[in-house]
Amino acid sequence: MNLSGEKDKQKQIGSKKKKQYLNKEQKNRKNSITCYYTNTDSLLNKKGELKVIINSCQPDILMITETLPKNIKSPPTKAEFMIDNYELYYNHDDSNCHRGVCIYIHHRLKIVK
């Protein structure tokens, strides 16, 4: 009885099942949208935390409320809120904006205006 041959066969079967599972997950990912929502109470000092969340969850859409600081003297620029691979929609330039909302849409999604 060749035990090492059996172990190799089990590894191959396990590897094949893992690939099938990953392919199924990728196919499911193509047919779904992942959204993430949070209230940041000022986004600029939490961008590092947000990048960690993006790397782990890989959301298609991010919705963030209270993105501006409470006591703001001059409004931050749009560039300060940009995140790589995402299109940014925000209301910071609206005169009725109080604390701000940002919506980020990943570039892999087709945006129809």
Q: pLDDT, tens digit, for every residue of 61-77?
A: 999 999 988 887 777 88
Q: Where are the domains of the chain?
A: 1-32, 33-113
Q: What is the pTM of this model?
A: 0.70
Q: pLDDT, tens digit, for every residue of 34-52?
A: 999 999 989 999 999 999 9
Q: pLDDT, tens digit, for every residue of 80-103?
A: 999 999 999 988 777 777 788 999
The chain-wide mean pLDDT, for the chain, equals 80
Contacts of 91 (CB under 8 A, 6+ apart): 97, 100, 101
| DSSP characters over 30-87 | HT---EEEEE-SSSGGGHHHHHHHHHHH--SEEEEE--S-SS-SSPPPHHHH--TTEE
Position 53 pLDDT exceeds 70: yes
SS3 assignment, position 108: coil
